[in-house]
Amino acid sequence: MIKTVKVHDLIQGEDTVAGEAVLVDRLWPRGVAKQKLTFDGWYKDVAPSPELRKWFGHEEERFPEFSRRYKAELDANDSAELKELIKQAHEDLTLLFAAKDRQINHAVVLKEWLEEQVSQ
């Protein structure tokens, strides 16, 4: 099972981790002290490119196109981090993210993409 959890929800005790917990943001979450967040890995290379992230700007109407473009980036990504994440996705895995919106963010797209990879 792959789960997405907002970092701030985890710190405030409003959500929990299943299996390994990995941060999938390129940048450290604002306002979060490193000693407050317990996680098993930080995979910066699996986050959307800075250009794509800036283009998206968390605008809801851009989310379908953002999802398509981000999945294309993931398909082309040959990083060791992504390979490791695919391996971890075969077990319980929690993707930690810092976006404000729980439904419209890159972790949701990454979860969907990983589930597709695992089912192949």
Distances (CA, A) of 43 to 40, 60, 77: 10, 25, 13
Q: Which of 105, 119, 41, 114 is nearest to 74 (CA)?
A: 114
Which pTM was predicted?
A: 0.91
If you average pLDDT over residues 49-53, what whole number do you get? 94
Domain ranges of the chain: 2-119
Please give the average per-residue pLDDT across 22-50, as a whole number. 91
Residue 120 pLDDT > 80 = no
Mean pLDDT for 29-39 is 87
Q: What is the pLDDT of residue 86?
A: 94
Q: How many Cα atoms are found within 13 Å in the side-chain-facing hemisphere of 82?
A: 17
Q: What is the pLDDT of residues 72-110, one digit of tens each?
A: 999 999 999 999 999 999 999 999 999 888 889 999 999
